[in-house]
Structure 1
Amino acid sequence: MRGKRVFIVMAWLLGIGLVVPLAAVECVYRTALSRVPALPQKVTGPSLPAAWNQGAWVHSEHTATLRVHPVWPSTVIFTLAKGVLHEPPSRSTRDDAYPPGFKLAKLVARLWSHQLSNEYKRAPGALEQLALTLWLTRNWSAEELLAFEAHHLWFGRRLFGVSAAADAMLNKDMAQLDHSDVAFLLATSEKSWDVECDPDRLRRRRDALLEGLAAAGMVTQAEAEAARLAPWPLASTAAGALCTER
């Protein structure tokens, strides 16, 4: 009888030890989320081409399956525990540590935070952005995250959004984009000044993205190689004194 009581007490203590951290994480999340002035709205409009969704997903998540894993308190604690108990991770190991869709949700949270800073004159802090990231993983699909990113990406030259960039830079409608176009636009969005100032560096980033698509099985190696060898979509127009060292 005494042994049974001890077992019950131990089980109760173990349950408390599990519930308290989970509740604390959820409480911090809800408090931080309540400080975000406004939540983002899903983008409506024409569907993105499959090539863009595939390329942008691989660029962000380095996986082939477009699926967002909701981040709950247990996910946070498990991820933190892995980081504490394991050796310092390599870059590939760090990528694997994040649930699918987390990095894309983090990017969307950053894009939205930038908009909020312009509208409310106060950018959400790091904890608030993290809470927004978690909220996005719980409430948005992969396609919805990709649509928001595509609509708000900056490509330089006052170009916001994939549709505007495809028209101005490639003379194409968004629906006509292939994987080579997508890799070029994603590489441009990372450092838009490279179009004029360092096209070779831009080409290397584009080629790395194509290789990532091939590794994820989105395109074949032959298709990736053909895209690399295709004529460069833009002529080099170095801007001389405007191209300072960056």
Structure 2
Amino acid sequence: MKQKYALVTGASRGIGKAIAVKLASDLHYNILLNYNSNDAAALETKVLIKAEGVHCELLKFDVSNLDQTKEILEGWEQNNPEALLEVIVNNAGITRDGLFLWMKPEDWNVVINTSLNGFYHVTQPLLKNMLTRRYGRIINIVSLSGLKGNAGQVNYSAAKGALVAATKALAQEIGKRKITVNAVAPGFIASDMTAEFDEKELKKHIPLNRFGEAEEVAELVVFLASQKASYITGEVININGGLYS
């Protein structure tokens, strides 16, 4: 029997980690766990995934680097010709917040390159095999910032907003091959990325009166990755406790 895999980018910590573990536990996917720098965190996550009785392979590369990403992914495919990569979760993303007036080019470029170009670098070379096999799930982690905008995050909002549009367009291109493409847009989720936020103040604007948990985002992603979501494509699903504007 061919081994089925799911690739999750930026998966050593936070939302990506929760998604990778949940894909292993609920859908029994073997996991390709991408990360950029934190070896210790990646190894810890690998242990949790393997405890679910599946295989986990660490793929260390920077999704913003086209050549590096292509080399690693093509190398894995060549070394695993019998593997079926059925799910791609584009989760990798970073923030470099600041007012647009003072934003440095490097802060603009690194955010765009990671969230938006990273989606292209990872997904485009893997798509051919999905099309050939006529099955796949592509799930892009976007953000409330990419839908409503957020002051101090023009770069992040631009990257995630573009990824929303790319999600909808790609869904129309490849739907006939039974490949779905959807986006998940978290609001404020308890993680390293929100650790410095004023949670007490921000909760006042959230109807559910709390930050979300990474595991709750993972539940939604796993649903979209499952057979149960086979008629859902081109959608952006919010998970934000009711926070819209």
On whether the aligned pair clears a TM of 0.5, the verdict is no
TM-score w.r.t. length of structure 2:
0.23
TM-score (norm 1): 0.23
More strand per residue: 2
Higher helix share: 1
Rg (Cα) greater in structure: 1
